[in-house]
């Protein structure tokens, strides 16, 4: 016989599948910290096609997949198909996924940390998909990454497989 006597302390928002604004802001801040710390270590892959190549070659080193859109991107059918395929691959390979709704802020974070928001040819970077990978030389332990991954796990428990984070403008 299995003893299922345990206590779960959840708020109404958590039971209904919603997180408090304070919690969402905390996760957004942690996400920024993850991106800023991974960038100088070479742990960021930017772009839908680059991400797909990286996922195909070495999915075990990917610790987080960020899919970013703005309001006008919702109507881009090709982008939505790419997102669906990337999401399926990430789910199959136990890679946490977040959706971010502010590509301009994402560009500021990546550009402000030394990455720049332009590619070598002067074209804007494709920030619709950003992968965070672990540096191959170390076992990277980041408390902010643990917080983001914990949020993703909690979201999945509430049937939110791809939670959406609002990156506030600064």
Q: Which residues contact 35 (CB under 8 A, 6 or more apart)?
A: 44, 106, 109, 110, 113, 130, 132
Taken in order 76, 78, 82, 87, the sign of the CA dihedral is positive
Number of residues in the chain: 170
User: Can you tell me the distance from the alpha carbon of 41 to that of 70, in angstroms, rounded to the nearest whole number?
Assistant: 28
- Residue by residue, pLDDT tens for the chain (170 residues) are 444 443 444 444 444 446 688 888 899 999 999 999 999 888 999 999 999 999 999 999 999 999 998 888 888 999 999 999 999 999 999 999 999 988 889 999 998 544 445 555 556 678 999 999 986 655 567 889 999 999 999 988 888 888 888 888 87
Count of beta carbons in the 10 Å neighbourhood of residue 131 = 25
Q: How far is CA 31 from CA 44, 70, 73, 170, in A?
A: 13, 18, 21, 15
């Amino acid at each position: 016989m299995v003893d299922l006597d345990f206590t779960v302390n959840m708020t109404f928002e958590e039971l209904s599948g919603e997180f408090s604004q304070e919690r969402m802001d905390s996760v957004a801040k942690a996400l920024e910290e993850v991106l800023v710390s991974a960038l100088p270590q070479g742990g960021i892959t930017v772009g839908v096609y680059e991400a797909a190549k990286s996922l195909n070659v070495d999915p075990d080193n990917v610790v987080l997949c960020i899919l970013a859109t703005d309001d006008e991107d919702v109507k881009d059918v090709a982008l939505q198909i790419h997102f669906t395929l990337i999401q399926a691959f990430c789910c199959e390979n136990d890679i946490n996924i977040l959706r971010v709704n502010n590509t301009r802020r994402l560009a500021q974070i990546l550009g402000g940390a030394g990455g720049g928001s332009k590619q070598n040819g002067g074209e804007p970077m494709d920030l619709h998909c950003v992968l965070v990978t672990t540096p191959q030389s170390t076992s990277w332990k980041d408390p902010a990454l643990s917080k983001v991954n914990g949020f993703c796990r909690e979201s999945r428990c509430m049937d939110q497989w791809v939670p959406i984070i609002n990156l506030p403008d600064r």
